[in-house]
Structure 1
Amino acid sequence: MHLQSIYADLHVHVGRDKYNKPVKITGGKSLTLTNILKEASRNKGIQMVGVIDCHSPAIQEELSDLVQVSKAEELKGGGIRFEEVTLILGTEIEIYDETCAGPIHVLCFLPTLQQMRQFTSWLSTRMTNINLSSQRFYGSGKSLQQQVRELGGLFIPAHIFTPFKSLYGKGVVRSLTEVLDPEMIDAVELGLSSDTSMADQISELHGYTYLTNSDAHSLAKIAREYQELRLKEGTFSELSLALQEKEGRKVVTNYGMHPKLGKYYHTVCKNCLAPGKFGFTCPDCGSDKVIKGVAERIQELVSKHEQLQHSNRPTYIHQVPLEYIPGLGEKSYHKLLKNFGTEMEIIHHATKEQLNDVVPDNITKHILQMRKGIQHVKSGGGGKYGKLLE
């Protein structure tokens, strides 16, 4: 059986629906469903994209419109094909119940548009505004998991270490079993401020596939993190097999930003963002309030778990979006796209000689270093991204 490599980003938000009404309040106005599919297929060059606001009725209408005019096609294995990309229908939901300090964000994916409509009907009685993204769910995490399972879906805790809205990030939950049924978790999403080596210090995560996704709030941010999957074809059922590592399907490589580039890597003063540590008084402004960084939070969790490393993980390549590269402006970016077609072709396949014919040597150098995971970075924290150094 022939298996192929497919690049996938499974966490992309919709900013506006077909009526120009907001879905993800902080999402860009150009971040419509159709624009996401075009960007993923034509410019990013990824073959699978998870749009995690497909619970919204207006988004479902737009999908139906695309299918009716034959611009998109529902696939037998689940998912919807648009040009060169498969859409995986998902939703991001906020859990906040009596069993946890919350809020905790999770991703739920369904195979078909019909099943997503059923999920929307169920959610609408347990959610204040079904039209918006990342809304609070009035019910337990386990009841949500059960409904997703009954509909044949996938359940994935999102950006699990990020402060404020994640499984471990709030600082109260010490084990996922306090909130969720571990048997109904299909994978976990690491988030921008962590990577495989950091997460694997926590033994209860060893049984799950790790995902690296963009959490894009703009078209440009799509595929700033992604993974290479080994699948027979780009469908929901094949994705499900890959997360379970069955029949040769699997995640081959995770591509993610260096954790220090994430905006919550280090602990910082909440008032002035000066670097600090938990329980300190800031020498710059005198505040004793901090935003705890992912690195410190993981160490807290490690102290209560066996400090073991999972030995058989996919390679994790530290990579940045092309827009992060010093000196690569909009003009150079469009020259690269014109010559090589997609970002995936630029990042993974164009030779040194081919790149040098289009852009200066220093930009070529950065692209080639990206392929090897070689980066020099300045750490971020407290909501401020790190920087790629020259």
Structure 2
Amino acid sequence: MQYICDFHTHSKYSRATSKQADIDNFGKWAKIKGVDVLGTGDFTHPLWFRGLKERLIPAEDGLFKLKPSNGNNHNGNNHNETRFILTTEISSIYSKNGKTRKIHNIIFAPSFEVVEKINTHLGWIGNLKSDGRPILGLDAKELAKIVLGISPDCMVIPAHAWTPWFSIFGHFSGFDSIEECFEEYSKYIYAIETGLSSDPEMNWRWSKLDNITLISNSDAHSPHKIGREANIFEGEKISYNLITEAIKRKSDELKLVRTLEFFPEEGKYHWDGHRDCGVVLSPEESLKYNNLCPVCGKMMTIGVMNRVCQLADRKDDTKPANAIPFQKLIPLEEIIADVIGLGVGTKGVEAHYKNLIRVFGNEFNILLNVRKGELTGASSPEIAEGIEKVRQGKISIQPGYDGEFGKISVFGETEQRPKTNGGQEVLF
């Protein structure tokens, strides 16, 4: 059996998140997306944590499910229900080795009791009420020491490891190795989150990551963003300990068999650039300008690809022997929007999306499994062709830079864009 897992989300108590980011909407959208295990996110926030304790009940060991309530279909021990795993993200801002460090880490916890102890301890250090992703003046190594000291079953995983501003390897405030950041606690760092602007293939270029598991998550700030990246595990059953042991590559019962990725060019920090001047450059081009904006002369935001190139010790086509396979995807709404020429969130796109979900169950099933002919019968030849082109990687993307997401074109500028009527032929 396969389980699709997305461990990194944020609630409505985090900054720049949707008001719809509550646990019930997460459960609803996890089903729509096809996510089997979803990280709760933000367990350090007092109000969010109180809500989690009120709305979640135990399922498999260390996993939870929503309590039955009016208006949902949860009943008994239905294994089709979404499971939740207790997670949060901590922002550590501190000085180390003469440089300001800004590091984000994901924390996994096995129980509410462990979370309460973590929250009590971290509450002595900083204000947990101000943000679902609290900012603490706490060395990342000390964070690992505290969390693992409370429970060795917890996990600490560096989040979006390459983003320029808030990550372990980020150009502006990161480190040049896991060991430099976590010191003697490096042996407890089993994985990193690759982030939207990098994919496993980019990470394979650095041999220091050969024994580090590469995981991928949505970092969703609203429910409909769940699953834009995810992890596929395979085994007869699932639990908190089986998940963490699989990430550590110590489990025979559950294996991480594939990750589902953004096209990294779509990420908003993939290439270098200066948004104010509309300048976007590849690492090779940036080198010619000494990383300075060729228009105004200011320092550009150095993107993920550039930073990977700085630390890489291998060529592009290297694949480690123990590498976990991956597949690049584009969210279904974005594919539909590009094909029919309407914006994401418009009624025409929504009509096609809802119809496909109604017919095939969930988004991942549509993106990964449903045959082109079946897609054509349920939607249109153009949308089916768009999904097939994404599966084959035959798309065009203008790389993201300096906080701007990349721009996707499924059919490319030189291809004939299919003529559609904006979704008016969708039948329900």
The alignment's TM-score, normalised by the length of structure 1, stands at 0.90
Q: Does 1:353 align with 2:373?
A: yes
Q: Does 1:60 align with 2:49?
A: yes
Task: Give 1:26's aligned amino acid.
Answer: A
2:57 counterpart residue number: 73
1:290 counterpart residue number: 300
Q: Aligned ranges for residues 281-320 of structure 1 at < 5 Å?
A: 281-283=292-294, 285-302=295-312, 309-320=319-330
Per the alignment, in what secondary structure is the counterpart of residue 162 of structure 1?
Answer: coil
Quick one: distance in 1 between partners of 2:380 and 2:219? 31
Quick one: distance in 1 between partners of 2:140 and 2:129? 18
Quick one: distance in 2 between partners of 1:117 and 1:232? 31
Q: CA RMSD in A?
A: 2.1
For structure 2, the 5+ residue unaligned runs are 67-73, 75-80, 341-348, 412-428
1:96 counterpart residue number: 93
Task: Give 2:350's aligned amino acid.
Answer: E
Q: Aligned ranges for residues 261-280 of structure 1 at < 5 Å?
A: 261-276=266-281, 277=286, 279-280=290-291
- Equivalent in 338, 346, 357 of residue 337 of structure 1: 357
Per the alignment, in what secondary structure is the counterpart of residue 38 of structure 1?
Answer: helix
Post-superposition offset of 1:76: 5.0
1:47 counterpart residue number: 36
- CA gap 1:287/1:78 in 2 versus in 1, 3 angstroms: same
2:69 counterpart residue number: none
- CA gap 1:113/1:292 in 2 versus in 1, 3 angstroms: same
Contact 2:269 2:303 in 1 (8 A): yes
1:87 counterpart residue number: 84
Identity %: 26
1:382 counterpart residue number: 402
Quick one: distance in 2 between partners of 1:312 and 1:184? 19
Post-superposition offset of 1:77: 1.7
Post-superposition offset of 1:295: 0.6
In the TM superposition, what whole-angstrom CA distance separates every residue of 1:237-293 from its partner, at most 9, and x where no partner exists?
11112102221422111111111111111111253231231525534x323320101
2:141 counterpart residue number: 142
Quick one: distance in 2 between partners of 1:388 and 1:270? 18
Per the alignment, in what secondary structure is the counterpart of residue 271 of structure 2?
Answer: coil
Post-superposition offset of 1:380: 1.3
Quick one: distance in 1 between partners of 2:234 and 2:60? 19
The alignment's TM-score, normalised by the length of structure 2, stands at 0.82
Post-superposition offset of 1:120: 0.8
- CA gap 1:129/1:148 in 2 versus in 1, 3 angstroms: closer
Contact 2:33 2:226 in 1 (8 A): yes
Post-superposition offset of 1:115: 1.1
- Equivalent in 234, 237, 240 of residue 241 of structure 2: 237
- Equivalent in 350, 354, 367 of residue 387 of structure 2: 367
* Structure label with greater radius of gyration: 2
- CA gap 1:280/1:169 in 2 versus in 1, 3 angstroms: closer
2:261 counterpart residue number: 256
For structure 1, the 5+ residue unaligned runs are 16-22, 67-71
Per the alignment, in what secondary structure is the counterpart of residue 277 of structure 2?
Answer: coil
Quick one: distance in 1 between partners of 2:248 and 2:229? 21
- CA gap 1:175/1:304 in 2 versus in 1, 3 angstroms: farther
- CA gap 1:288/1:98 in 2 versus in 1, 3 angstroms: closer
Moved more, 105-114 or 94-103: 94-103
Task: Give 2:388's aligned amino acid.
Answer: L
1:324 counterpart residue number: 334
Q: Does 1:178 align with 2:189?
A: no
Aligned pairs, number: 372
Q: Does 1:25 align with 2:15?
A: yes
1:169 counterpart residue number: 170
Quick one: distance in 1 between partners of 2:35 and 2:63? 15
1:69 counterpart residue number: none
Post-superposition offset of 1:98: 2.8
In the TM superposition, what whole-angstrom CA distance separates every residue of 1:347-381 from its partner, at most 9, and x where no partner exists?
22222222112211121112223334443322111
Q: Aligned ranges for residues 85-234 of structure 1 at < 5 Å?
A: 85-99=82-96, 101-130=100-129, 132-150=131-149, 151=151, 152-171=153-172, 172-180=174-182, 181-234=185-238
Contact 1:54 1:90 in 2 (8 A): yes
Quick one: distance in 1 between partners of 2:329 and 2:134? 31
Per the alignment, in what secondary structure is the counterpart of residue 29 of structure 1?
Answer: coil
Post-superposition offset of 1:32: 1.1
Quick one: distance in 2 between partners of 1:231 and 1:147? 32
